[in-house]
Structure formats: structure tokens, C-alpha cells
Structure 1
Amino acid sequence: MVNLIIYAFVGGLIGVLINYLSDVLPLTRRFSQPVCPHCAKPFSLKGYLISFKCPNCSQKPRNRNFVVLVASIIAAVMVGIYPLIGLNFWLTIPVMI
């Protein structure tokens, strides 16, 4: 049971990382503070991680963010339960990213 919680948490972190990289890198080509795609105001770290709308324009995030987050959690739990042959969970994580 504890392992499933760890797998889900790691999957959530991977989902946040994938969303961050897909939001920031196409625009700036470097690691920088994420901005709202509608009003171009920067998000705070707390606002980016746990908020479900922009604090400035109240626009909801893209559906892709939720799909990627849920899919990465499901994938991490599935990899934890059914690991790749010859690899454990922690060696499979870089493959997910």
C-alpha cells in the first residue's frame, strides 16, 4: 500500500515536470518561470503547482495539463506494479520522462 502511494507521488512529480517543460521550453528555450498563455503574467511556484486558474486573468489551465498529470500517475503505478523485465521501478523512471 505504501509503495502505491510512493509510485503515485513520483508519477505526479513526473507529470508536473513534463507539464513545466512543455509550457516553458517551447517559448523561452531555457528554464525560466512559467507564464500564463493568455495574459503572459508569470506564475508563482505555488500558483503553478497547486492552482487551477491564473491569479491575474482567472483563466483555467489547458486540458493537456490534467491529462498528462493523470496519465503519468497511472503509468508510474502500472510500472511499479508491473516493472519492465530486468529493471526495477527506479530504473524505469527515466524511460517515462
Structure 2
Amino acid sequence: MIYVVGMSGNPPPSVGLSLKKEQADLAKAEQDIVEGERRVAEQELLIAQLRSEGHDTALAEQLLATLKATLAEWYAHRETILCTIHRLQAREP
């Protein structure tokens, strides 16, 4: 059977599965973000310590920039997941 929007008033079973998958993806994204924020904070502390001891911080700062860029991508990915969840929930009766 081909599902046509409005045909029976019920979404196809795959919508529920997609919503569950997206919710699981959101939980994973949240965990990744928390871990990423922790890594950024630790790297910032390490850089401060290296500076206070007179060490070169160039590589540590490059790593920090990479960590921050990755974290920004994770924030964007979380927003995409949230938009998908909202869209799927709007389809539910």
C-alpha cells in the first residue's frame, strides 16, 4: 500500500520509528556536546598553564581552534536533529 497524506489520517509506521531514531540521535548529540565542551575547557586551562610556564602554545591553540570548530558543527547538527524532530512531531495526530 502506498501512503498518501490524509488518506487514513494516520502517519505511516515509519514515522514513529524515525522519531525514535531522531530522539536517540539527539541524546547522542547532547552527550557529544557535553564532552566537547569539557575538552574545550580542559584545553583552555592547559593553554593558560603552558603560557604561565613560558611554553610555546601555538600547537595547543591550533588544537583548541579545531575543538571549537568541531563543537560548532555539533551544535549545528543538534539543531538539525531538533528541526527534524519538530517536523516529525507535527505529522503525528
- Provide TM-score, normalisation by structure 2: 0.34
User: Larger relative contact order (C-alpha < 8 A, sep ≥ 6)?
Assistant: 2
Which has more helix, going by share of residues?
2
Larger-Rg structure: 2
- Provide TM-score, normalisation by structure 1: 0.33
